[in-house]
Structures are given as C-alpha cells and as structure tokens.
Amino acid sequence: MKTIIAMVRKELIDAMRDKRSVMAGLYYAIGTPLLMCGMFMVLIGQLSTPEDLNIKITNADNAPDLVRFLNNRGINASTDEGVAAKDVKDIELIISDNYAAHMAKAKPAEITLIADNSNEKLQQSIRRVENQLQAYSGEMGSLRLIARGINPAVVQPIKVVVEDQATPDSKGGFILGIAIFTMIYSVFISGMNLAIDTSAGERERNSLALLLSHPISTRQLVLGKIIAVTCFALLGLLLILIVSKFAYTFVPWQELGFSVNISPDFMGLMLFIGIPLAIMAATLQLFVSFMAKTFKEAQSYLTMVLFVPLALSMAASYNIAPDVLEWLPVSGQQQALMAFIKGREIPMLQLLVSSAATLVLSIALAFGLEKLLKSEKVVFGL
C-alpha cells in the first residue's frame, strides 16, 4: 500500500508541474455551467419578453382589423413609423384584393404568407406569424357564429381539462437532465489529459521503462496511475457541482413557471454515483492511451472513444433508446439521477446493476492494462 501511495503522489506531482495541461481539462467543469446559465438567461429573456417582429404586409389597407390585431401582438408592418429597413424580417404577408368583400359575405378570405421555411433564423418568426393568424381566424369564426345566433361552443364538442400534477421542481427536470449530462461528461474530460500524459507521454519521454526498473510491480504501477487519474476525474465532477450550485441560482427560472435547484442530496448522490464512473473513465482512458504508440495518436483515439459515453448519456437524456440502456454503465446511472431530481422513486436495481457493470468493466480494463505493461512492445512503443 505504501508503494501505491508513493506512486499516486508521484503521478499527482508530475501532473501539477504541467498546470496548463491539467487545467485544460478542468476548464470544462468550470466553464460549462457558466456558459449554460448565460444561454438560458438569454433564452428566457426572449421567451418572456419577445421582441417586436417586423414583416412586410402587402395590401394592408384591405384588412385594417387584421393589421391592428397583429400590431397588438408585436407583429408590425414594415411601413409603420420607427421600423428600420434592416429590422424587417424576410417574411411577406399578402392580403388578397377581395379580402374585405369576402369577410363581409362571411366567406373565406385569402392571405398568402411568403417566407423561406428552410432558413433556421426565420423558422421561429414564421411560427409566430402563423399562430397569430390562426388566433385571428378563430376569433373571426366565433364572431360569425354569434352573429347568426349560434353559440361558438357548439363547434367544440369536447372540452379537455388538463390537470398537471408536475411540481415546479419536476418541471425543471429537463434542464437538470441536461446538467446531469454535462456533469457525467466532465468525469471523462477532467482526467483525460493526465491519462494521456502518464501513459503515452511517459513512454515518449522514456520514463516509463525507467519507472518499471524500480522495485515496483506492474499491478502497483497500474493502480497508482488509475487512482491518480480517478482523483482528477472526481475533482472535475466536484468543481462542476459547486459551480452549478451557485450559477443556476442566478437564472430566472420562475419566468418559465418552474425551479431548478441543485440540492445537497443531489450533489451527494451525484458524487456517490460518480465514483465508479470516474474509475471506469480512468481505466478506459489509460488502456486506450497505452494502446496508442504516440501522444498525438492517443489524443485522437480518446476523442473517438469519448463518443461512446456521450452517446449513452444523450440517449438516456432524451429517452430515445431501448430499455436495455437502463442496465448499462453511464446511461443507467443517468436515468437513476433523473428519477431522483423529478421526485420519483430511484430504480435501485437498475442503479446497482449499472454500477456493478461499471466496476466489472473497470476491473477488466485494469487487468488488461497490467497485461499490456508486461509487453516490451507496449513499454517501448515498438
């Protein structure tokens, strides 16, 4: 045990000497919550107080009531005062010449909406115009029925009453689901640079062979490296939890009708679940790095390998995968965390199975590492 502890100290000291490389992995844990909170604040501001939409309306004089209706809802004609040409969206509303005559006779009046629906920047504005036109059409339809002595409720044979049982905390589960995704991914990002440096990096510096010449077994060497990388992975997880705890409080979630709260219980559960994930991340990254022959090759391989936990986590976040993912590493732990933040019962069996599978995979990779380091081809990069 003393030898393993000395090995871990050696790895941590070597890592701290290259502060820029180590911090590159931890910047993700620090910066991601801040970036996400900034994006959410901008998005909430747009949803709660949408900006006026300026479009081109042709033959606006044919439908003054419609134009007034749109103006009251923030959709202005490009000919209005104070509307600059640069602020006009590339959306045109053409009111037919016989619009007034058809409306007077209670006939369908034609309006043509011209816009490029493939333009991502216009899609939200197009939906907004379409929704308001539908709302105006519904109002006009109700007025026509009333003018004929018919109750508008007649055309609504079914009245759907929705009783939402979701709590403000559970409604914020979708946001925290994204946060959980970033937290799990930080486990794999934070220790990656150290994993590459202590494996492929040491081999390129010819220090790996020198290290093996000391009175230390291959298993002790492997355990020391795994523990060191795991420490950095857990450090990244702890940092992203702390930053998220404070950063998410500055976002006005109440504007959307829910709350997002990273409680101490959630932080404790996240750290508990993150331990086997950190061990698996460390063993996986070390194994792949030792398989590579150069430092740059290890970086390329790990970039591709990281897509596996990324895909599992995304599949669990958006519920687009088969039920078997509930029992696999990463996705199983993530779904248990999402159940916790939504106030549901934690699927303990699935959590235990996925965590056990994570540890079994870590042990298998650790034995694989031990076998690799007994090969001269791996040690000398032949």
DSSP 51: P
pLDDT value of position 364: 92
Tell me: pLDDT of 127 over 80.
yes
C-beta separation of 180 from 338 below 8 A: yes
Q: State the DSSP string of 231-292.
A: HHHHHHHHHHHHHHHHHGGGS-GGGGT------HHHHHHHHHHHHHHHHHHHHHHHHHHHHS
Closest CA to 306 of 203, 202, 143, 188: 188
Give residues with Cβ within 8 angstroms of 300, minimum separation 6.
292
Higher pLDDT, 21 or 162: 162
For residue 48, pLDDT over 70 is answered with: no
CB 113 within 8 A of CB 137: no
Which is more confidently placed, 270 or 317?
270
* Backbone angles phi and psi of 64, in degrees to 5: -65, -35
pLDDT above 60 for 371: yes
Is 99's pLDDT higher than 60? yes
**Residue 1: predicted pLDDT:** 74
Q: Quote the pLDDT of residue 360.
A: 92
Q: What is the tens place of the pLDDT at every residue in 183-203?
A: 888 888 888 888 888 877 777
pLDDT exceeds cutoff 80 at 124: yes
In this prediction, residue 81 carries a pLDDT of 60
pLDDT at 320: 60
Question: Rounded to whole angstroms, how far apart are CA atoms 369 and 289?
Answer: 10
Angle formed by the axes of helices 218-247 and 173-190, to 10°? 150
Claim: this prediction has a pTM higher than 0.75:
no
CA trace torsion 25, 30, 32, 36 (10° rounding): 180
Residue 375 has pLDDT above 60, yes or no: yes
Q: Are 71 and 94 in contact (CB under 8 A)?
A: no
Helix (H, G, I), strand (E, B) or coil at 90: strand
pLDDT in tens, 276-329: 999 999 999 888 888 877 778 888 888 888 888 777 777 766 656 567 777 888
Mean pLDDT lowest among 5-9, 181-185, 264-268, 275-279: 5-9
156: its two tokens: 């609504």
Q: Give 165: exposed, middle or buried? Use CB within 10 Å, 0-12, 13-18, 19+.
A: exposed
Whole-Å CA distances, 147 to 60, 68, 106, 358? 25, 22, 10, 69
Quick one: pLDDT at residue 276? 92
The answer to whether residue 167 scores a pLDDT higher than 70 is no
Q: In what order do the strands lie in the sheet with 111-114?
A: 75-77, 53-58, 88-95, 111-114
- pLDDT of 210 reads 73
Distance CA 195, CA 207 (A): 15
Give CA–CA dist 200/204, Å, rounded: 6
Please compute, for residue 102, the number of CA atoms within 13 A of its CA located in the half-sphere on the CB side.
13
Report the pLDDT averaged over residues 6-24. 73
Pairing of strands 88-95, 111-114: antiparallel
What percentage of the chain carries pLDDT values higher than 90?
5
363 — pLDDT class (breaks 50, 70, 90): very high
Q: Are residues 36 and 182 in contact, defined by beta-carbon separation less than 8 angstroms?
A: yes
